[in-house]
Amino acid sequence: MTVSGQCSPEFDDLRTEFEKNIASGEELGASVVVDIDGEVVVDLWGGFSDSERTRPWEADTITNVWSSTKTVTSLAVLMLVDRHQLDVRAPVAEYWPEFGANGKDRIELRHLLSHTSGVAGWEPPFTMDNLYDWDSASSHLAAQKPWWEPGRSSGYHAQNYGQLLGEVVRRVSGKSLAQFVADEIAGPLDADFQIGAHELDWPRIADVVPPPPLPFDLTALPEGNLMRKALGSPPLDAAAANTASWRRADLGAYNGHGNARSLARIMSVIPCGGSVDGVKLLSPATIELIFEEQSNGRDRVLGVPLRFGIGYGLPEPQTVPAIPDGRICFWGGWGGSMVVMDLDRRMTITYMMNKMGLGLLGSPRSEAYLRAVYQVIDA
């Protein structure tokens, strides 16, 4: 299976690494893009859309990108901040009054954006049916108590990030998160990205291939363990992403569908100063908010060191060693997808795939691609 697309000669090592992984089967199907100063210098895709290897990964293949979706969800919220419809230091209850119940009245919007709110998931029991019911899922969160003192430290909001922020978007804009992204981001930028997936697009979706099992059993952890509560309610099931119910849902934490090209098109707005091809989404002042550090230390849910600004992760050498220090923000998805926005170099790097690796943030494959890019840029 050959790799298609275009690649500037200086990035030949990246292409070689990508081709090697496709040829060996380490990748099933994938895409990778590098955008520098608004110019796409790498746009590669290859492999297969299905585990039976009967459908090639095409230029317009899309897949479920897991938590790389959060990069777009955060952008949607920051756009409303930029329009002065939201204030990152205002209590969430100012926009969503029911959320102020049970000691959450002082939780600020920035705490949701930085995973420091203490509301890192749904209190069990909570089912997939609850997840797919927007009003039910929001009501559950509004009624809960925080799991720790808000603003003190991060605890990755793995499954409910899109519900928390999406409800704020809905209350302020009058649009669902999925509709806001369609109307205000993907549409104006002509980017092939959506939260959920329209049924007419299902034939070109590359089904995800679940990762190897976690090296431990979540259900064996104590009932009050934050990893168990955040990741196990409802239980994480990669195969759910291939179902009709998942694709019809509005899950801004992890059911975005796109590819490396569409994520790079959207997220390059941050390294490029707020505009892409004349379409302005953010001001420089709002972009600066991203780099106001909100937490720095061991994440209460993932158990690894993480740094969060407002809406995005910031470089953390122990956990994401392939991302250098500097004015860089990023996030990735379960199984290895990755979005890196490097403002120092006005560069965006995106990688999306269907064969999931082990790990909730990055993978050996994504790390190798990032290193190949930075070896060129920093040479």
pLDDT for 343 equals 98
Domains, the chain, with CATH or none = 3-377 (3.40.710.10)
CA distance 114 to 119: 11
Sheet holding 338-342, edge to edge: 3-7, 39-47, 29-36, 347-353, 338-342, 328-332, 313-314, 305-308, 295-298
CA distance 111 to 104: 11
C-beta of residue 263 within 8 angstroms of C-beta of residue 71: yes
149 token code pair: 């003192």
pLDDT for 39 equals 98
pLDDT for 37 equals 96
Cross-strand partners of 329: 341
pLDDT for 130 equals 97
pLDDT for 33 equals 99
Look at the block and give the residue holding tokens 């040829």. 23
pLDDT for 89 equals 98
The number of residues making up the chain comes to: 379
C-beta of residue 67 within 8 angstroms of C-beta of residue 332: yes
pLDDT in tens, the chain (379 residues): 689 999 999 999 999 999 999 999 999 999 999 999 999 999 999 999 999 999 999 999 999 999 999 999 999 999 999 999 999 999 999 999 999 999 999 999 999 999 999 999 999 999 999 999 999 999 999 999 999 999 999 999 999 999 999 999 999 999 999 999 999 999 999 999 999 999 999 999 999 999 988 777 898 999 999 999 999 999 989 999 999 999 999 999 999 999 999 999 999 999 999 999 999 999 999 999 999 999 999 999 999 999 999 999 999 999 999 999 999 999 999 999 999 999 999 999 999 999 999 877 889 999 999 999 999 999 7
265 token code pair: 């098109």
pLDDT for 379 equals 76
What CA dihedral angle connects 249, 252, 258 and 263, to 10 degrees? 170
pLDDT for 360 equals 79
pLDDT for 1 equals 66
Residue type, 38: G
207 token code pair: 């089904």
